[in-house]
Amino acid sequence: MSGSPPPSGGFVRRVGLFQATAINMSQMCGIGPFVTIPLMVAAFGGPQAVVGFVAGAVLALADGLVWAEMGAAMPGSGGSYVYLRQAFQYRTGRLMPFLFVWTAMLFIPLIMSTGVVGFVQYLGYLAPDLGRTSGDLIGLGVIALVVVLLWRGIEHIARITAVMWAVMITSVLLVIVAAATDFSAHLAFTYPAHAFDLGSNTFWIGFAGGLTIGIYDYLGYNTTAYMGAEIKDPGRNLPRSIIFSILGIMAIYLLLQIGTLGVIDWHRMTDAKDIASTSVASAVLEETWGKGAADTVTVLILITAFASVFTGLLGGSRVPYDAARDRVFFRPYAKLHPRHRFPTLGLATMGVITAIGFLIGRHTDLATLIQLLTTVMVIVQALAQIVALSVLRRRRPTLKRPYRMWLYPVPSVIAFVGWCVIYGYADKNSPGRHPIEWSLAWLALGCVAFVLWARFEKVWPFGPKEITEDYATPEDTAQAAPAGT
């Protein structure tokens, strides 16, 4: 295994390559594409919306290579927390990992909340008379059930995840096959006038909105990086789980998007009164194989949505654990369950925030919730982590890297530009919601919280920097920079 073994009494490496890839794919292909195809069509104004999924795939793959190198070199619990801690400790102490945990405790459960919103949305196809209050209660019940199922050992969770992954693949393939049986190239490839007018500002606003929705649909390719301390042979399996899951989901999404557009007229997806705007996959099955088949596949989609929330909270609950263990977050989050060895407080907290985000999404709209959560994560996680990769290559050239990014630094540059496009167009794609301002306010509040916390803990800037070069080789240690640099 690359890197350091898990500490005594800590996590156990029990998750293999297949299970790791299944965890990523289950999180990526949850309810996302089934609820965002209409949103993508609305953003682009036609079936050219497939461009959004392609752009999202390119950004996910470029960013995934950043995660692959970092995760293989530093396979600890917490993902970005570990990488930011190691890269930026020389100049800003514990500021960056603190801010990451601060934002992750918000955006990870918000991502999960969109899955529960989609779950209730598709449940409405099976129960057309489902009221808002009933839907709210069902969604909260789903979140409670996920937390209960996660309250056990990782070896049981890995088996459950593999079963859910199989259900996810089945549901997606059924929709793709059904679409292929009644596919109309005229519907799928007839574009409105000026659909690809690159000189139009409207096109680029739509592209940025589509890119945001696209990367949201791919989010989850990094789930196993949060569980690095629980992956077998992480130097080999962690990068492969990221790359395999992105390539697999990319192929699935393209077939799903094009197939859906070849069965359902895109105008129906923009009509709020049409079932295709809320349950487009069910509409495809009803159009091709009839109502009975649509009901059956809808049930599978509900299981798929449940699986995505399940795996998301599984990985996300590990984020504050490593930070708290290193005294960069509230200390109670460092405690593991005495028997099953999972972080109890992290799981409970994210479960509660997921419930709050679900209620917010139910009483606003899904597109706005996606824009808000995506904007919040850009600065501290996405952009800072890309910079961290270059910082670590310069500061710690001898760090053992079982996997190195292909064509470095080209993927880093592509990922950086993609995330900047998402952030720069956020306000234009959510007029009146001010996602950029909210994200900056949350970041500023995190900085204030850090200053108060640092003063209490007597660490930088109120104490000396503590340089801890984890996963270091003897050569790396010999070349380590002094603490004051």
What does each of the 485 residues of the chain score in pLDDT, given as a tens digit? 233 344 444 567 778 888 899 888 877 877 888 889 999 999 998 999 999 989 999 999 999 999 999 999 998 766 788 899 899 998 898 899 899 988 988 888 998 899 899 999 999 999 888 888 899 999 999 999 998 888 865 555 666 667 777 887 888 899 999 999 999 999 999 998 888 888 888 889 989 999 999 999 998 898 888 788 888 889 999 999 999 999 998 998 999 999 999 999 999 998 888 888 889 999 999 999 999 999 999 998 898 888 878 877 877 777 787 777 778 887 788 888 677 667 888 888 899 999 998 998 888 888 888 988 899 999 998 999 999 999 999 999 999 999 999 999 999 999 999 999 999 999 988 888 889 998 999 999 999 989 988 888 888 898 887 888 777 655 544 444 444 33
Backbone angles phi, psi at 396, to 5 degrees: -130, 70
Q: Which amino acid would we find at residue 179?
A: A
Contacts of 341 (CB under 8 A, 6+ apart): 9, 10, 11, 12, 153, 154
Q: Residue 199 burial (CB < 10 Å; 0-12/13-18/19+)?
A: exposed
Looking at residue 485, the DSSP 8-state letter turns out to be: -
Q: How far apart are CA 89 and CA 392, in angstroms?
A: 11
Backbone angles phi, psi at 227, to 5 degrees: -110, 30
Contacts of 20 (CB under 8 A, 6+ apart): 224, 227, 231, 237, 238, 241
Q: Which residues pair with 77 in a beta bridge?
A: 227
* Cα 200 to Cα 46, 52, 196, 330, distances in angstroms: 15, 17, 9, 49
- What residue has token string 């479960």? 351
Q: How far apart are CA 61 and CA 222, in angstroms?
A: 11
Is residue 132 within 8 A of residue 362, CB to CB? The reply is yes
Return the SS3 of 295. Answer: helix
CB atoms within 10 A of CB 474: 8
Domains of the chain listed by start with CATH number: 17-462 (1.20.1740.10)
Looking at residue 368, the DSSP 8-state letter turns out to be: H
Tell me how far the alpha carbon of residue 179 is from its chain's centroid: 27
Is residue 188 within 8 A of residue 263, CB to CB? The reply is no
Is residue 380 within 8 A of residue 99, CB to CB? The reply is yes
User: What local confidence, expressed as pLDDT, does residue 10 receive?
Assistant: 59
Q: How far apart are CA 388 and CA 359, in angstroms?
A: 35
* Cα 202 to Cα 50, 346, 425, 438, distances in angstroms: 17, 42, 12, 24
Q: Which of 252, 275, 194 is nearest to 53 (CA)?
A: 252
Using N-to-C axis directions, what is the helix angle for 384-395 and 95-126, rounded to 10°? Answer: 140
Is residue 249 within 8 A of residue 25, CB to CB? The reply is yes
What the block records as the tokens of 26 is 């289950």
User: What local confidence, expressed as pLDDT, does residue 2 receive?
Assistant: 33
What the block records as the tokens of 279 is 């349950």
User: What local confidence, expressed as pLDDT, does residue 482 receive?
Assistant: 44
CB atoms within 10 A of CB 107: 24
